[in-house]
């Protein structure tokens, strides 16, 4: 019985560590985990290629606020790319029920305000957003599409994020979580993989 208990604790620890490793809470982590490529030069030509895995030594994380970024995964829709970049500017903003600003925002507040900034009107709640636009398959997903979840044992959609990167077996999305505020998470995390509900496209391509 004691051995079984120890094995269970070890398994839960490994799963927990794996889940935590996929969370992105700042621009520094976004660079380190490949959501952004990074250039220290403030005069980088936009046509120049930027190394994703370039090694560099940063002592002050605030330095990341003043340099050039190129998001690695892009949508075919230019407006979708602008919306994703704006949403990612909120990394680290705390969670606040009903909030839509940098003083605090909930999951639908992040999505609502990011789209509204570009004059795209969306419903205010995640469940209503899930009925907006066109439902698409994961294989069709692109950055800027909305991704929905049924979390906390709910039988209806109650959480939403904006897709920032699509890979063969994983989708990364920016959202406002109740515990960590605005972060980037992944469907490879056990929690979000299990609670994933659907993807909607709300912009015309």
CB of 144 within 8 A of CB of 94? no
CB of 30 within 8 A of CB of 24? yes
In angstroms, what is the C-alpha Rg of the chain? 18
CB of 30 within 8 A of CB of 88? yes
CB of 27 within 8 A of CB of 64? yes
Q: How far apart are CA 17 and CA 33, in angstroms?
A: 16
> Which residues, 6+ apart, have CB-to-CB distance to 197 below 8 Å?
130, 148, 149, 150, 157
Among candidate residues 30, 80, 107, 122, the one labeled active-site is 107
107 annotated active-site: yes
Among candidate residues 175, 176, 185, 202, the one labeled active-site is 175
CB of 116 within 8 A of CB of 122? yes
Among candidate residues 27, 28, 150, 159, the one labeled active-site is 159
- As annotated, the active-site residues are 107, 159, 175
């Amino acid at each position: 019985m004691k051995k079984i208990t120890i094995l269970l604790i070890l398994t839960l620890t490994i799963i927990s560590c794996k889940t935590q490793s996929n969370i992105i809470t700042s621009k520094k982590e976004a660079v380190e985990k490949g959501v952004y490529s990074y250039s220290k030069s403030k005069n980088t030509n936009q046509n120049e290629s930027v190394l994703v895995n370039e090694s560099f030594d940063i002592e002050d994380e605030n330095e990341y606020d003043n340099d050039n970024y190129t998001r690695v995964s892009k949508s075919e829709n230019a407006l979708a790319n602008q919306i994703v970049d704006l949403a990612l500017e909120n990394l680290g903003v705390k969670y606040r029920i009903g909030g839509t600003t940098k003083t605090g925002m909930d999951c639908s507040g992040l999505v609502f305000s990011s789209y509204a900034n570009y004059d795209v009107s969306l419903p205010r709640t995640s469940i209503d957003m899930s009925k907006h636009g066109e439902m698409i398959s994961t294989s069709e997903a692109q950055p800027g599409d909305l991704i929905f979840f049924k979390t906390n044992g709910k039988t209806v959609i109650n959480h939403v994020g904006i897709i920032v990167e699509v890979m063969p077996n994983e989708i990364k999305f920016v959202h406002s979580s109740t515990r960590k505020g605005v972060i980037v998470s992944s469907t490879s995390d056990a929690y979000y993989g299990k609670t994933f509900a659907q993807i909607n496209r709300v912009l015309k391509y």
